[in-house]
């Protein structure tokens, strides 16, 4: 299967990385009949907890074994205890008590991931980059899309995600603090591309493929001006060779929608929780553009 | 619980019932067993129709018609077109909900689920397609940054060389809201303010466009 591995990154927190991962993944599975894997790499375990009830999640990831933590722990201990099939969660449980979205799979995260960053530097940098790709590269081939939900930083776990990705997606809230952060983020990713290059023979080096605007509000000038400044910045970064010509700002912008926030407490993607809501509609349109971007541009 | 958990549970219960069937008796258990059997009848019916491959396409079509994409993009006119192109028939219904039911009925009757799904997918894909602003937009954005870097006198000179229509285009492309009543002076003030802001918020653009 030709799979697309995409890392959702931004070192700014709360910009909608998890919301985009969860809702694009669910929409791809529900409306486009795609096989999708979400890999939760954030110790906060937000995409896991969005899609699993906390009691079930706690039981599943007990001591971190059936979670992405085990992949990193194995790399540190030189062991092989991670079992993909055991760790995998298939579908989401709806109010009926049974699973739906059978094409949507999740590798959950565990709080134990918090301990990884302190220990990981025992390994050589090139060994760190390759952890995720070596552990999961083969499994990724079973899916049409693999979406990596990264923590709000650019430390080692995020680097492993960028290394194994075909492309990076940057969720973005239109304001100045995000703008200044984005310029730095783009430079950092470019730097990583250079560092990764020797270890990715014959493979395309990951780049920022798209930006996705989240928490958009249509009132007044505020957000339109901020998005315009983002576009100006993207043009400048392209000219400076920091962003590629292919990097796009995807539309539509996802608007703030209370149903999306609420769906986290119901442990369902918004397309199942409130399919008629503005949020579900914005994600449906965005996912369509997402498919257009990754399936027509070959 | 997922479906393989359910399967395991049913298998386990089946085995226990079989093992102890001679000991099972009494009204309470009997009534409960009767209820279970009739629930199972209904469940088997749903299961059968779901497993028939045609049925799963029917379900997908129905899901698609209920989806957020439908809610945003599907109009009665589109559904009528779909009905003509896919089923070769005209829809009689005049409200959307009824038309959807009629459409489903027609498609299922004709066995054209795949074609109907394809049609809707294409319609939804077309509906979200947006034109990029193209060259014109890029030029107007660059002009905006340049205006933001000018000293007052040069800015005034540049502005006076432009028609109000040109100023409107610069403002509109760069996210400035105005109305038909916004006069030249007000528009100039807005452009001055936000172009300057863009020039200091996006320093990279400043360097790039001034060389
Ligand atoms: N479209 C939306 N409408 C309303 N609330 C939203 C929307 N998208 C996200 N949220 C809420 O905003 C908050 C931040 O979103 P999210 O957790 O997706 O960001 P994040 O970038 O993953 O954060 P972190 O950096 O902590 O990983 C969440 O509480 C979420 O419920
Ligand atoms: Mg998150």
Residue pair A38/A105 in contact by the 8 Å Cβ criterion: yes
Which chain A residues contact residue B123 at CB under 8 A? none
Residue A237's domain comprises 4-296
Instruction: Note the pLDDT tens digit of each residue in B125-184.
Output: 998 877 777 788 989 999 999 999 999 999 999 999 999 999 999 999 999 999 999 999
The enclosing domain of A288 has a CATH number of: 3.40.50.300
Region for B111 from its dihedrals, namely left if φ exceeds 0, alpha if ψ lies in -120 to 50, beta otherwise: left
Reported ipTM: the value is 0.84
Within 10 angstroms of residue B165's Cβ, the number of other Cβ atoms is 7
Q: Which of A236, A248, A269 to mutate to test the interface with B (most CBs of B within 10 A)?
A: A236
Q: What is the pLDDT of residue B163?
A: 94
Which chain A residues contact residue B182 at CB under 8 A? none
Residue pair B2/A98 in contact by the 8 Å Cβ criterion: yes
**Residue B53 scores a pLDDT above 70:** no
Interface contact A235-B1, CB threshold 8 A: no
Pairwise CA distance, residues A289 & B129, whole Å: 7
Q: What is the pLDDT of residue A212?
A: 96
Q: What is the pLDDT of residue A229?
A: 95
Interface contact A229-B145, CB threshold 8 A: no
Residue pair A118/A55 in contact by the 8 Å Cβ criterion: no
CA-nearest residue, atom 29 of ligand 1 = A261
> B29 Cβ partners below 8 Å, 6+ apart?
none
Residue pair A287/A169 in contact by the 8 Å Cβ criterion: no
Query: If we measure between CA atoms, which residue out of A202, A250, A275 comes closest to residue A20?
Result: A250
Q: Which of A31, A184, A257 to mutate to test the interface with B (most CBs of B within 10 A)?
A: A31
Give average pLDDT by consecutive 10-residue segment, chain A, 298 residues. 92 95 97 97 98 96 97 96 96 88 96 93 92 96 97 95 95 91 92 89 84 89 92 92 91 94 97 96 96 79
Within 10 angstroms of residue A25's Cβ, the number of other Cβ atoms is 28
A248-250/A208-213 β-pairing: parallel
Of the pLDDT bands very low, low, confident and very high (cuts 50, 70, 90), residue B56 is confident
Q: A28-32, A90-94, B39-43, B78-82 — which is least confidently predicted?
A: B39-43
Which chain A residues contact residue B179 at CB under 8 A? none
Number of domains making up chain A: 1
CA-A279 nearest atom, ligand 1 = 1
Residue pair B162/B188 in contact by the 8 Å Cβ criterion: no
Residue pair A182/A170 in contact by the 8 Å Cβ criterion: yes
Helix residue ranges, H only, chain A: 17-31, 46-51, 54-60, 69-77, 84-87, 116-119, 125-129, 131-140, 156-164, 176-196, 222-239, 258-266, 270-273, 278-296
Of the pLDDT bands very low, low, confident and very high (cuts 50, 70, 90), residue B41 is confident
CB burial of B168-177 (b: ≥16 within 10 Å; e: otherwise) equals bbbbebbbbe
Ligand nearest to the CA of A254: 1
Residue in A97, A226, A232 nearest the CB of B1: A97
Percent of residues, chain B, with pLDDT higher than 90: 62
Of the pLDDT bands very low, low, confident and very high (cuts 50, 70, 90), residue B211 is very low
Q: Domains of chain B: which residue ranges?
A: 3-54, 58-127, 134-209
């Amino acid at each position: 299967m030709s799979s697309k591995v995409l890392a959702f990154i931004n070192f700014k927190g709360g910009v909608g990385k998890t919301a985009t991962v969860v809702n694009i993944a669910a929409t791809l599975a529900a409306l486009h009949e795609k096989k999708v894997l979400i890999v939760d790499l954030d110790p906060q375990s937000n995409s896991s907890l969005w899609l699993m009830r906390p009691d079930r999640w706690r039981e599943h990831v007990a001591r971190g074994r059936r979670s992405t933590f085990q992949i990193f722990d194995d790399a540190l201990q030189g062991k092989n205890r991670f079992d993909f099939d055991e760790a995998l969660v298939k579908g989401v449980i709806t109010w009926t008590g049974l699973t739906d979205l059978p094409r949507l799979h999740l590798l959950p995260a565990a709080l134990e991931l918090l301990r990884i960053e302190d220990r990981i530097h025992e390994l050589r940098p090139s060994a760190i980059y390759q952890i995720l790709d070596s552990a999961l590269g083969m499994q990724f081939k079973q899916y049409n899309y693999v979406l990596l939900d990264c923590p709000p930083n650019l430390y080692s776990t995020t680097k492993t995600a960028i290394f194994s990705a075909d492309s990076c997606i940057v969720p973005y809230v239109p304001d100045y603090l995000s703008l200044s952060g984005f310029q730095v983020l783009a430079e950092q990713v470019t730097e990583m591309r250079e560092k990764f290059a020797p270890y990715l023979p014959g493979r395309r080096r990951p780049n920022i493929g798209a930006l996705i605007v989240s928490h958009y509000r249509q009132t007044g000038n505020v957000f339109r001006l901020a998005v315009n400044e983002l576009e100006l910045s993207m043009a400048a970064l392209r000219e400076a060779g920091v962003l590629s010509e292919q990097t796009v700002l995807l539309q539509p912008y996802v608007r703030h929608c209370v149903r999306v926030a609420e769906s986290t407490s119901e442990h369902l993607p918004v397309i199942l929780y409130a399919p008629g809501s503005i949020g579900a509609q914005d994600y449906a349109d965005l996912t369509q553009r997402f498919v257009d971007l990754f399936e027509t541009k070959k | 619980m997922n479906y393989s958990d359910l399967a395991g549970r049913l298998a386990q219960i089946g085995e226990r019932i079989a093992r102890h069937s001679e000991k099972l008796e009494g009204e309470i258990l009997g009534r409960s067993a009767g209820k279970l059997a009739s629930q199972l009848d209904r469940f088997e019916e749903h299961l059968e129709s779901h497993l028939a491959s045609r049925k799963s396409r029917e379900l997908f079509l129905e899901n698609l018609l209920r989806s957020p994409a439908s809610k945003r993009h599907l109009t009665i006119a589109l559904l009528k077109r779909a009905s003509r192109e896919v089923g070769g028939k005209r829809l009689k219904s005049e409200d959307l909900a009824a038309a959807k039911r009629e459409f489903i009925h027609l498609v299922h009757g004709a066995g054209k689920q795949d074609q109907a799904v394809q049609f809707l997918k294409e319609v939804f894909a077309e509906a979200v397609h947006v034109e990029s602003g193209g060259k014109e937009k890029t030029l107007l954005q660059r002009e905006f940054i340049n205006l933001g870097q000018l000293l007052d006198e040069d800015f005034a000179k540049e502005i006076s060389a432009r028609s109000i229509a040109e100023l409107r285009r610069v403002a509109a492309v760069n996210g400035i809201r105005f109305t038909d009543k916004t006069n030249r002076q007000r528009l100039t003030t807005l452009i001055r303010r936000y172009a300057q802001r863009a020039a200091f918020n996006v320093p990279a653009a400043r360097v790039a466009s001034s060389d």
